[in-house]
Chains A and B, each alone.
Chain A
């Protein structure tokens, strides 16, 4: 289960649009909400909403530069998110391995019965 990760962080990264925003911040560093809006297929308003969620989850932070507000990613929190997602993939690998073992055992058992 995903018990190692808090709800806020989880729902922040579970949304593909927000991951797109994170991607852009990762590759472009400190940028404004307007700049982000010019690089995503959703509205300026949607960008602002995503930034609020990401900020609440601690994944991005803002700072003022002159009249502009610039956003940047928080590496420590991203690291946590990265690990959480890797854990999720690993959980599915473990589940699939168990399914394989159960199904193969059931199949072998059925074949043995047929031979008797």
Chain B
């Protein structure tokens, strides 16, 4: 998908239904994500997440149990998160056998706006490595003495 930036994954020894509850139930979310989570897990639902003394709105996008869950947030700016000003967090759960689940998370930045699809695809192909590749290139520049 074009524009996806950070992608991470982990293999969990538990069925997808259990992992699903861990990532979507507010009392569970408050253990791995925000300090306090006020959220109804329904598409389009608006919620709030508190991190220490800061917090911000969050909007649920996709709820497709037990395989896909996504939401938008734009911490730390605190504006209403919509496409273009926010980060989209997408979880994908893939069962691997009865008691094992691959959990992938992708956090993407601002959308590629107003580009023809062919250009988006080309850009995505060129930037398949996303931030990881970008980081490598930046690291090589940063290592050079500045002019």
Contact = CB atoms under 8 A, between A and B. Distances in A.
A42 B51 contact: no
A44 B53 CA distance: 42
A52 B48 CA distance: 32
B18 A92 contact: no
A76 B146 contact: yes
A75 interface: yes
Given A92-B8, A99-B10, A26 B135 contact: no
Interface string A88-99: 110011011111
B138 interface: yes
A78 interface: yes
Given A41-B122, A88-B107, A99 B135 contact: no
Contact of A14 (B9, B110, B114, B135): B110
A81 B134 CA distance: 11
Nearest to B11: A100
Nearest to B105: A92
A65 interface: no
B76 interface: yes
A82 B10 contact: no
Contacts of A86: 135
B76 A106 contact: no
B87 interface: yes
Nearest to B51: A1
B54 A16 contact: no
B14 A103 contact: yes
A1 B76 contact: yes
B146 A107 contact: no
A96 B37 CA distance: 17
A-B complex: 6 closest residue pairs judged by Cβ atoms: A14-B109, A107-B14, A98-B32, A41-B119, A96-B10, A75-B146
Interface of B: 2-3, 5-6, 8-15, 18-19, 21-23, 28, 31-33, 51-52, 54, 75-77, 87, 99, 101, 103, 105, 107, 109-110, 112, 114-116, 119, 122-123, 127, 131-132, 134-135, 137-139, 141-142, 144, 146-147
Given A75-B146, A97-B10, 8 more contacts: A26-B137, A26-B138, A72-B147, A79-B138, A98-B31, A99-B19, A102-B28, A106-B18
19 contacts: A1-B76, A16-B110, A20-B127, A22-B138, A72-B147, A75-B142, A82-B138, A85-B131, A85-B134, A89-B8, A89-B131, A95-B32, A96-B8, A96-B105, A100-B11, A100-B103, A102-B32, A106-B18, A107-B99
